[in-house]
Structures are given as C-alpha cells and as structure tokens.
C-alpha cells in the first residue's frame, strides 16, 4: 500500500488510447465492478458525478426473477440517464432464462450491455448452478449458455469471472478463449479462485494467463486495486487492457477520477477532502432514501454501508453504533454535526485507502 509521500509511477501511454466494448467507447479504462447490495443506483450515480469511471454495471440480478417481473428485482434495475452506458449483470444456469432475461432488458432499453456473472462465490448462487460453479463445466455447456445470450441480443455481452474453482482448476484462460470465439465483447477477471472467496492475495500471473489466452478481446483485471501504485502493478504484471474496481471504490469514491487524471496527465490530482467525504456520505444517504421510496427504508439500507464511512472518516465507535441503527435524516444530521466543520487529529486522505470494506455476502435482491 502506498502513502502520501510515495513516488507516483509514470502511466502507461497506451492507456490514453480509447477502449471500446462493442459499440461503446469508454471515457476511461477504469470500470466500477459490480458488488451485490452496494453498486446500486444511488452509489453508481454518485460515483459518476465525481468522474473518471469508464463503465458501471448493476448489482447481479437473478435472470428468473427478471422474467417473473418481481417488484424488488425491479428496484435493482433502477437507473438514471446520466449513468449511461450501463450494463446489467445477470446470473443463472438455464440458457433459456439467461437469454430471455437479456432480451427482456434490452427490449425495455434498460441495458446498453449484458454482463454474465461467473464469479460470485456465494453458496446460494453456486447451489443453483450460477456464479463460480459455471467455471467447473468445461464440457461445453457453459460456453453454449454464453453463446445463447450473445446471439439473443444486439448489445455487447461481457463476462465477469474468477480464475477458477480452486488452484487445481484454473479454467479462466480456457473460458476466455472460448468466449471470444462465441462473440463476447470483454471479460473481467477477479484474480482469486472460488475457494479463496475474498481471502488471500490476488494472483496477477493468473490474470496474465487469461490476457495471453485471447486474441483481441479486452480483459479487465480486478482485485485489490486501491490506488495508483496498485493499478500500475496490475497493468505491469498482467498486461490487462483495463481495470475493474469494486471494494477500492467503496473506500475511496475518488479513485476513478484520480486514475483517469494520472493516465492523462501523470498526476492523479487531489483526493477527496474530509468535507467532501462527509458531503458524499450525505448525498449517498439521501439518494438511498429516494431510491427505496421511504425515509425508513433508505436509512435501513444505509446502515449496511455506514461502517465504511465511519472507518474511513475515523468516527468514534459510539458514532458508528448510532449510524448502524440510523432511523431518520434528521438523526443523521445530528450525529455528524460535530464533524462537519473539522478534521480529526491525525486524519489524512490516505486513511480511506486503509479502511477495511466488508465483503458483500451475495445477491441482495430482497433487501
């Protein structure tokens, strides 16, 4: 992990060149990786407004739930014109349901692209044959499913996957090669296996082997990128065409703007100040309230993300305990009032990069 005094590496020149996924030319090569329960409309829109993000993707959504038109699933599909292009991530194990869900989304102009989840390690997803379990089948069924989705829609189809089920079954290079033949527009590789979950280090060599397995299809590296130095190491070690950032963006929403500035000018530019981070937290809460429809439901949802903010902003434990039980917007303003005009002694912007972000527990289609 770098610090404020670390030397900033020179950016790779080719990262200034435009990168296209299907018909969409990205404004940067740094994408927001989907995280279930976290990368919903309020967070995505707020990230977009800071700037620098190339592409956003929704939370993963159950393909069958889309076809059944469940109300709570529709909440996950909420979006804003300001965040287009937007890809929708779907999961499932039945080709007709996956293709049908993709068609449903495109016909209603809810998706500028479809992302297929093959990376979720959570048991409830794996148990139904979705997520990481799809990487266990090298007989052709997984490739056939992906091909069926590609052929069912006129928009780009991408895949997010892990390196494989475990260290003895690193199937990502095989799938990436086959997916490119099937017409997949890009893949994102999380540099861990399903067995690892989010533990242990990211295997850059594993991501590199995926990059080497394809011809022209863009490969996005994913995992443990929290600053410029981490991004440069990912690029140098793997040769990836772009980077997808999930937990790093939760801890530091300014990371995309900094990375884009770094690529274009060599200087990441300013990080978010303490006051800006307080303002972002407030905006996030207010958008959660608007998205969930009532103040109570929005505050309940905010409780699930409050700990990132309390750690990044060094709020005392008693403040954290109040925020994770938040009941109203008025109470929120009362809680943060003592911090609105000052900075805790010893706090620096770098604290946000050190903040531990709890790993999402899987698809949260019924929050």
Give Cα 175 distance to the centre of its chain.
Answer: 21
Q: CB 308: neighbour CB atoms within 10 A?
A: 21
Tokens of 130: 């979705």
Q: Pairing state of beta strands 24-26 and 19-21?
A: antiparallel
Q: CB 236: neighbour CB atoms within 10 A?
A: 12
Question: Which positions are catalytic?
Answer: 120
**Phi, psi of 272, rounded to the nearest 5 degrees:** -65, 135
Place of tokens 């002694």: 345
Residues sharing a CB contact under 8 Å with residue 55, sequence separation 6 or more, in sequence order: 21, 24, 26, 31, 32, 85, 87
Q: CB 325: neighbour CB atoms within 10 A?
A: 12
- DSSP letter, residue 155: S
3-state helix, strand, coil in the chain (%, to 5): 45, 15, 40
Tokens of 166: 């475990």
């Amino acid at each position: 992990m770098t610090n404020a005094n670390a030397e900033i590496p020179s950016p790779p020149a080719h990262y200034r060149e435009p990168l296209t996924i299907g018909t969409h030319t990205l404004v940067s090569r740094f994408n927001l990786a989907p995280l279930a329960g976290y990368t919903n409309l309020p967070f995505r829109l707020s990230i977009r407004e800071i700037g620098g993000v190339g592409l956003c993707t929704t939370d993963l959504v159950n393909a069958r739930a889309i076809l059944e038109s469940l109300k709570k699933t529709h909440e996950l599909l909420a979006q804003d014109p300001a965040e287009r292009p937007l890809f929708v991530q779907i999961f499932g194990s039945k080709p007709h349901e996956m293709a049908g869900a993709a068609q449903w989304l495109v016909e209603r102009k809810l998706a500028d692209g479809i992302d297929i989840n093959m990376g979720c390690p959570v048991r409830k997803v794996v148990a139904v044959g979705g997520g990481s379990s799809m990487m266990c089948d090298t007989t052709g069924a997984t490739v056939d499913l992906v091909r069926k989705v590609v052929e069912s829609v006129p928009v780009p189809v991408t895949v997010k996957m892990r390196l494989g089920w475990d260290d003895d079954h690193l199937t990502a290079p095989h799938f990436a090669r086959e997916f490119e033949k099937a017409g997949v527009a890009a893949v994102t590789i999380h540099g861990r296996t399903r067995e690892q979950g989010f533990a242990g280090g990211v295997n850059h060599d594993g991501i590199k082997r995926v990059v080497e397995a394809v011809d022209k299809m863009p490969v996005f590296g994913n995992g443990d990128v929290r600053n410029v130095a981490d991004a440069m190491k990912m690029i140098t070690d793997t040769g990836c065409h772009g980077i997808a950032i999930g937990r790093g963006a939760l801890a530091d929403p300014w990371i995309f703007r900094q990375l884009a500035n770094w690529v274009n000018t060599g200087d990441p530019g300013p990080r978010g100040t303490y006051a800006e981070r307080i303002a972002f937290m407030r905006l996030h809460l207010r958008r959660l309230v608007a998205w969930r429809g009532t103040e109570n439901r929005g505050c309940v949802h905010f409780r699930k993300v409050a700990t990132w903010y309390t750690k990044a902003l060094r709020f005392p434990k008693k403040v954290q305990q109040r925020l994770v039980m938040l009941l109203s917007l008025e109470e929120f303003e009362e809680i943060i009032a003592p911090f609105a005009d000052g900075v805790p002694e010893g706090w620096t912007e770098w604290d946000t990069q050190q903040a531990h972000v709890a790993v999402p527990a899987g698809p949260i289609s019924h929050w």
